[in-house]
Amino acid sequence: MQKPAIITIDGPAASGKSTLGALLAQRLGYTYFDTGVLYRALTYLALQKRVALDDIDGLVRLAEQMQANVEPPTVDDGRQYTVSVDGQDITWAIRSPEVERNVSVVSAYPAVRNALREQQRSIGRRGRVVMVGRDIGSVVMPNADFKIYLIASSEERARRRHGELTGQGRAIGFETVFDDLHRRDALDAKNTLRPSDAYIVHSDGLSPADIVGEVLAVLQQRAQA
Ligand code: DC
């Protein structure tokens, strides 16, 4: 089967992008690149270095200097990959409530997005990669050979996110998760783009295995066409 060199997966928060991306990359023997990590790493650094989150020039400078490294897991603690900046392991730090609360603000600035676009492209150009994000198939890698856009209802997405957070030991109510997701959707909406040539997956009620199976079947059909 002729495999596409670059597969993109876009969609809103908690639509199942990272689960599908990781599984698909594993099945195909590709690199899995979750681009949200770069926005999270930048937000973490800004908070740590006390760069104000409305100081756009300061954020852009930080983004340009940032040497974020994403590699296969270096610790067996349930992580999908290890993220580090300046030699510091920030894999879990970028999932903290503080980063979670502020990342949508940082990622909404067009100048910040420009600064991080090249870093994403240079990893994508290496090929044999599954890239996950919001605007990957439309803006970052518009020439990718296979694009997926994931859709799920707000209730299903909130249920998934709530399950993830309580699974990590966080005491948080469903309503709070639902409201947070709603708030983030509004902030992310402008940059969550559905490519016109994407294969759409409605993931409500489907297991990760179902979805990977569906996508692999489509890839096979396209290779034979
Ligand atoms: O997918 P995530 O929750 O890790 O993304 C974190 C933030 O980064 C979220 O606000 C959306 C934003 N993001 C983006 O704007 N473009 C991307 N390609 C990836 C993430």
Percent residues over pLDDT 90 in the chain:
87
Report residue 147's pLDDT band, with 50, 70 and 90 as the boundaries.
very high
Boundaries of every domain in the chain: 6-205
Rounded to the nearest angstrom, the distance between the alpha carbon of 224 and the centre of ligand 1 is 34
Given the CA of residue 187, which atom of ligand 1 is nearest to it?
10
Structure tokens at 210: 């179902």
Q: How many Å apart are CA 9 and CA 20, to the nearest integer?
A: 8
Res. 2: pLDDT tops 90: no
CA 84, 87, 90, 94 torsion: positive or negative?
negative
- Superfamily of structural domain 6-205: P-loop containing nucleotide triphosphate hydrolases (3.40.50.300)
Which tens digits make up the pLDDT trace of 23-66? Answer: 999 999 999 999 999 999 999 999 999 999 999 999 999 999 99
Ligand 1 pocket, 191 CB below 6 A? Answer: yes
